[in-house]
Amino acid sequence: MAKAMARHILVKTEDQAQQLKKRLAQGEAFDVLARKFSTCASAKRGGDLGEVRPRQMVPAIDQVIFKKPTGVVHGPIKTQFGYHLVHVFFRE
């Protein structure tokens, strides 16, 4: 069965997600920004979602984790929880 390792930052607005994505592109650390801004419980772990399996996350995030390229930050992705930036760093 497929599995992946991913981390994310969850914020309330698309604008905030875009601003954080710019900061990441300028070299700021994902885990530091996640701890400071993410509204998800994973923020305490720098946004780390741990090992994820298909259909464990909401469909929009599942698509990114299992279908999009690894090693880049995807998003903002809108879900019922807010706007996500997702970084998949391992998938098999």
Residue-wise pLDDT tens digits, 59-91: 999 999 999 999 999 999 999 999 999 999 999
**Are the C-beta atoms of residues 36 and 16 closer than 8 Å to each other?**
no
**Fold observed for domain 4-91:** Chitinase A; domain 3 (3.10.50)
Backbone angles phi, psi at 72, to 5 degrees: -125, 160
Q: How far apart are CA 5 and CA 10, in angstroms?
A: 17
Instruction: Please report, for the chain, the start and end positions of each structural domain, with discontinuous segments joined by +.
Output: 4-91
The answer to whether the beta carbons of residues 44 and 35 sit under 8 Å apart is yes
Give the pLDDT of residue 41: 96
pLDDT digits (tens, 9 = 90+) for 45-57: 999 999 999 999 9
Rounded to the nearest integer, the mean pLDDT of the chain is 97
> pTM higher than 0.75, yes or no?
yes
